[in-house]
């Protein structure tokens, strides 16, 4: 596996874990059969992170999934916490993490 593919796999695996354990808007983290429930959103999250977009873009993406795609009321506090963890992941994998916190959501 080349370096780029390895980086993409690390991102995807870690993003899926964070979406399941820390975002989990429908509460399936404790159901083994549902551990892939949010995997379809990992690519969008990875794109935001890899482009170095600000936290508010990540929050908006997760908010839209929760409220528009899933039809839930949305939990802004949980989304912001998950977004912060995802940005931390980006810094852990890539080093400094770029400009992600330039425009943080208040």
Domain ranges of the chain: 3-94
The mean per-residue pLDDT over the stretch 96-105 comes to: 43
pLDDT tens for 37-46 read 999 999 999 9
Q: The tokens of 63 are what?
A: 């908010």
Q: Packing angle between helix 42-50 and helix 3-18, nearest 10 degrees? A: 120
The mean per-residue pLDDT over the stretch 18-40 comes to: 97
Distance from the Cα of residue 54 to its chain's centroid: 13
Model pTM greater than 0.75?
Answer: yes
- Alpha-carbon gap, residue 99 to 66, rounded angstroms: 25
Give residue 20's pLDDT band: very low, low, confident or very high (50, 70, 90).
very high
């Amino acid at each position: 596996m080349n370096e780029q593919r390895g980086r993409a796999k690390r991102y995807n695996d870690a993003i899926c874990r964070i979406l399941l354990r820390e975002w989990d808007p429908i509460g399936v983290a404790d159901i083994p059969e549902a551990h892939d429930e949010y995997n379809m959103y990992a690519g969008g999250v990875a794109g935001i992170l890899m482009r170095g977009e600000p936290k508010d873009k990540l929050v908006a993406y997760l908010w839209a999934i929760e409220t528009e795609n899933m039809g839930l009321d949305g939990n802004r506090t949980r989304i912001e916490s998950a977004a912060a963890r995802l940005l931390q992941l980006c810094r852990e994998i890539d080093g400094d993490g770029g400009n992600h916190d330039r425009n943080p959501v208040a």
